[in-house]
Structure 1
Amino acid sequence: MCRWVAWLGKPVFMEDLISRPEHSLIHQSRDAHCCKTAINADGVGVAWYGARPEPGIYKDTRPAWSDPNLLQIARQIAAPVFLAHVRASTGSATSYNNCHPFAVGRWSFMHNGMVGGFGKLRRRAEMGIDEDIYAHRYGATDSEAVFLTALGLGLDASPLDAMAHAVRQLEGMAAEIGATPGMRFTSCWSDGHTLYAARYASDAFAPSMYYQRSAEGTLIVSEPLDSDGGSWTEVPPNTAVIATQADFSVVPFMSDVATPNVVAQGEMPRTLSVTGA
Structure 2
Amino acid sequence: MCRWLAYSGSPVPLDDLLYKPANSLVMQGKHARMGVETTNGDGFGVGWYGATPIPGVFHSTEPVWHDRNLRELAEHASASRVFAHIRATTGTAVQQTNCHPFRHGRWLWMHNGALSDFLKVKRDLAMAVEPGLYPEIEGSTDSELFFYLALTFGLEQDPRAAVSEAVGFIEDTGRRHGIEHPIQMTVATTDGDTTWAFRYSSEGKSRSLFHSTDVATLRAQYPENPLLHGLSDESRLVVSEPLGDLRGAWVEVPDAMCVVVHEGEEELHPFAPSSS
Within 5 A, what are the aligned runs for 1:172-191?
172-191=172-191
Asked if the contact 1:116/1:171 (under 8 Å) is kept, the reply is no
Work out which of the residue numbers 238, 257, 265 in structure 2 matches 1:239. Answer: 257
Residue 70 of structure 2: aligned partner = 70
Within 5 A, what are the aligned runs for 1:1-277?
1-213=1-213, 214=215, 215-227=233-245, 230-254=248-272, 257-258=274-275
**1:247 Cα shift?**
3.0
Asked if the contact 1:44/1:99 (under 8 Å) is kept, the reply is yes
RMSD across aligned positions (CA): 1.3
Asked if the contact 2:236/2:264 (under 8 Å) is kept, the reply is no
- Could you list the runs of 4 or more consecutive aligned residues of structure 1 that deviate by over 4 angstroms after TM superposition? none
**1:229 Cα shift?**
5.6
Measured in 2, the distance between the counterparts of 1:230 and 1:207 equals 21
Relative to structure 1, the CA distance from residue 246 to residue 21 in structure 2 (aligned partners, 3 Å threshold; closer, same or farther) is closer
User: What CA deviation, in whole Å up to 9, does each residue of 1:93-138 have, x standing for no partner?
Assistant: 1011000000010000000001111111111111111100111110
More helix by share: 2
Measured in 2, the distance between the counterparts of 1:74 and 1:242 equals 26
Secondary structure in structure 2 of the residue aligned to 1:140: coil
TM-score (norm 1): 0.90
Asked if the contact 2:257/2:269 (under 8 Å) is kept, the reply is yes
Asked if the contact 1:197/1:240 (under 8 Å) is kept, the reply is yes
TM-score (norm 2): 0.90
**1:29 Cα shift?**
0.6
Q: Which moved more, 1:170-179 or 1:79-88?
A: 170-179
Asked if the contact 1:242/1:248 (under 8 Å) is kept, the reply is yes
Q: Which moved more, 1:243-252 or 1:151-160?
A: 243-252
**1:152 Cα shift?**
1.2
Residue 271 of structure 1: aligned partner = none
Relative to structure 1, the CA distance from residue 127 to residue 50 in structure 2 (aligned partners, 3 Å threshold; closer, same or farther) is same
Asked if the contact 1:209/1:235 (under 8 Å) is kept, the reply is yes
Percent identity among equivalent residues? 38
Measured in 2, the distance between the counterparts of 1:73 and 1:250 equals 33
Relative to structure 1, the CA distance from residue 142 to residue 229 in structure 2 (aligned partners, 3 Å threshold; closer, same or farther) is farther
Measured in 1, the distance between the counterparts of 2:149 and 2:275 equals 16
Asked if the contact 1:45/1:86 (under 8 Å) is kept, the reply is yes
**1:228 Cα shift?**
5.3
- The runs of 5 or more residues in structure 1 that have no matched partner are 260-277
